[in-house]
Amino acid sequence: MIINHPELFDELGESLGMLPFPDRELEELRQAVIGLLAERRENDSGLDAASLCRHLSSAGYDTIVRSLLSESTYVHAGFARPDASSLDAKRGWWPTWHHLHHRQVMADLREAEAALARDNSEANFARVVALQQEVIRSGMGMTDDEDLDDA
């Protein structure tokens, strides 16, 4: 979505940065996109979608970008289409982000519970409790962000 709608990076870049991707190639692409758009923002020169794709292609991401920007993606994420409005892209982003964030927090909780089982320390217990609270918030679609107030 951010490749097709880089104009939303200022607003959505931080949330994108919070989502680690388990697939190494996707994680590298995410880092490249964030790096390019953050650099351009610092220089007060934004990138449009076509320019961003050219930069990513020249950096060796052509195959994965073509795969991501294909109909097989848009079938499930129509909001990410290049012809979707910025508002529709943003509205589609947040439920997707919440879902992925919730999955990540659940994985973090499982790791924290395993750490607590190995070492019943106060720090490990506090981490489990904090993650349990985050699971509840993320499962209910609640975060500290005011995600859709502008939408």
Give the DSSP H/E element, type plus range, for residue 118: helix 86-118
Structure tokens at 1: 């979505």
- Look up the pTM and report it: 0.77
Give the CA distances from residue 150 to residues 86, 123, 146, in Å, rounded to whole numbers and listed in that order.
12, 38, 8
Q: Residues 78-95: pLDDT tens digits?
A: 999 999 999 999 999 999
CB of 36 closer than 8 Å to CB of 55? yes
Question: What is the pLDDT at residue 43?
Answer: 67
Q: Residues 8-26: pLDDT tens digits?
A: 999 999 999 988 788 999 9
CB of 89 closer than 8 Å to CB of 83? no
